[in-house]
Amino acid sequence: MSADLSNPAPSGGAASHDAGVLVLGGTPIGNLADATDRLKHYLATADVIAVEDTRTLRRLASGLDVQTRGRVVTNHDHNEAARSAQIVEAVEAGQVVLLLSDAGMPTVSDPGFAAAAAVADADLPVTVAPGPSAVLSALAVSGLPTGRFTFEGFLARKGSDRTQRLKSLQDEQRTMVFFESPHRTAATLADFVEYFGPERRAVVCRELTKLHEEVLRGTLAELQRWAEEHEVRGEIAIVVAGAKEPTPEAVENLTEAVEELVAKGVRLKAAAGQVAEAHGVSKRDLYQAVLAARSDEEE
């Protein structure tokens, strides 16, 4: 008989379970008032609490006026592999393990995935106590389309990994959500201008749910100028509108502009990329349209 975790005992009560479970707990991303009753319950009753930083846990429990009774262990980027095996053992032994990241939802651009995957692979229970998410919060307040989106997390800081990722996203039609450090925000927005175009709509979300929350909307060029002129501080999420789906007519009308660049010595793929970026259409579609036009002329 497994524990009924859908209706937990009141906060402060004893944990009642016959089988272990890993609980992924969402924690406030700034405002402690966003903590759920379920999170408070598990903080008070879990047998084991795995956290990135024990100091963050102490501040959280103190702010919520919750006294933890479970054994506290660290689970972070440097010890996840070894810790995951221990978490599996604890769940197998019938313990409730609460896994937290410093803020937001574990596993989402935060530690926790290795443990969740290990427990799931062991065919043991994994559940979630949902809570605040910087990804969804930024998406919701952005004012950009939310029906389809992709979370890209932190880009590689430099090199081919960063370049290839940005190139792969040039034609992405879904709204994109990124995380960035404050001191790299201006550079990242400059890269977005280069790869997505200066007129692409975007939103910079700073310090969401905190006292100095700020949401700035505009084109990528406008936001780049803002970041360059100000000292950017706090937790940053950047939401970028997806590429517009071009009409066949719009792409076909640009083939001559590509051929003009080719006549000047620019390689075809580079020429298609330049024209596509300038007009906000798919480089791939424009390249194919040029090849099709050339084929028609040869017939």
- Whether residue 48 is contained in a domain is answered as yes
- List the single range of 18-22, 73-77, 86-90, 219-223 with lowest mean pLDDT: 18-22
Q: Rounded mean pLDDT of 105-132?
A: 96
Whether 219 and 279 share a structural domain:
no
Whether 119 and 187 share a structural domain:
no
- Position 247 scores a pLDDT of 66
- List the single range of 52-61, 83-92, 126-135, 237-246 with lowest mean pLDDT: 237-246
Say yes or no to pLDDT of 5 above 80: no
What SS3 state is found at 155? Answer: coil
More confident residue, 171 or 246: 171
- Position 283 scores a pLDDT of 82
Strand order in the sheet with 71-74: 71-74, 48-51, 96-100, 21-25, 126-129
- Position 248 scores a pLDDT of 67
Cα–Cα distance for residue pair 24/50, rounded to 1 Å: 10
Give 294's Cβ-side CA count (13 Å radius): 11
Q: Rounded mean pLDDT of 93-119?
A: 96
Say yes or no to pLDDT of 103 above 90: yes
Average pLDDT, the chain: 90
Whether 168 and 209 share a structural domain:
yes
Task: Please enumerate in sequence order all residues whose Cβ is within 8 A of that of 100, keeping only pairs 6 or more positions apart, or say none.
Answer: 25, 27, 49, 50, 51, 52, 57, 60, 106
At residue 13 the predicted structure's pLDDT band, cuts being 50, 70 and 90, is very low
Q: Rounded mean pLDDT of 17-29?
A: 88
> What are the Cα distances from residue 214, in Å, to 38, 139, 210, 234?
29, 14, 9, 10
Structure tokens at 154: 């932190």
**Structural domain ending residue among the three candidates 110, 132, 154:** 132
- Whether residue 16 is contained in a domain is answered as no
Bridge partners, residue 72, by sequence: 49
Q: Rounded mean pLDDT of 247-262?
A: 83
Q: Rounded mean pLDDT of 132-149?
A: 96
Say yes or no to pLDDT of 159 above 80: yes
pLDDT tens per residue across span 63-80: 999 999 999 999 998 999
Whether 203 and 253 share a structural domain:
no
**Structural domain ending residue among the three candidates 89, 114, 132:** 132
Contact 177, 189 (CB under 8 A): no
Cα–Cα distance for residue pair 106/112, rounded to 1 Å: 5
- Position 279 scores a pLDDT of 78
Contact 18, 36 (CB under 8 A): no
- Position 215 scores a pLDDT of 98
Whether 141 and 236 share a structural domain:
yes
Whether 71 and 110 share a structural domain:
yes
Whether 128 and 143 share a structural domain:
no
> What are the Cα distances from residue 55, in Å, to 52, 58, 65, 73?
9, 5, 15, 12
Cα–Cα distance for residue pair 291/297, rounded to 1 Å: 10
The CATH number of the domain holding residue 79 is 3.40.1010.10
Say yes or no to pLDDT of 26 above 70: yes
Q: Rounded mean pLDDT of 196-203?
A: 95
Contact 218, 191 (CB under 8 A): no
- Whether residue 264 is contained in a domain is answered as yes
- Position 282 scores a pLDDT of 78
What percentage of residues in the chain have a pLDDT greater than 70? 92
Say yes or no to pLDDT of 6 above 60: no
> Number of folded domains in the chain?
3
Whether 47 and 147 share a structural domain:
no
At residue 277 the predicted structure's pLDDT band, cuts being 50, 70 and 90, is confident
Whether 128 and 26 share a structural domain:
yes
- Whether residue 166 is contained in a domain is answered as yes
> Of the candidates 22, 219, 247, 240, which has an alpha carbon nearest to the alpha carbon of residue 152?
240
Q: Which alpha helices (H) appear in the chain, and where do they start and end?
A: 37-45, 54-63, 80-92, 113-121, 134-142, 159-168, 185-196, 220-229, 248-252, 255-263, 268-279, 283-298
Say yes or no to pLDDT of 280 above 80: no
| Residue pointed to by tokens 């389809």 | 148
Contact 220, 198 (CB under 8 A): yes
Q: What is the pTM of this model?
A: 0.78
- Whether residue 9 is contained in a domain is answered as no
- Position 171 scores a pLDDT of 87
Say yes or no to pLDDT of 7 above 50: no
For CA atoms 263, 264, 269, 272, the dihedral sign is: negative
Q: Residue 189: give the domain boundaries.
A: 135-240
- Position 293 scores a pLDDT of 87
- Position 12 scores a pLDDT of 35
- Whether residue 284 is contained in a domain is answered as yes
Helices and strands in the chain, H and E counts: 12, 10
The CATH number of the domain holding residue 228 is 3.30.950.10
What SS3 state is found at 143? Answer: coil
**Structural domain ending residue among the three candidates 132, 154, 177:** 132
Distance between terminal CA atoms of the chain?
74
- Position 244 scores a pLDDT of 84
Q: Rounded mean pLDDT of 146-161?
A: 95
Rg of the chain over Cα atoms, rounded to whole angstroms, equals: 24
- Whether residue 14 is contained in a domain is answered as no
Structure tokens at 286: 């424009």
- Whether residue 10 is contained in a domain is answered as no
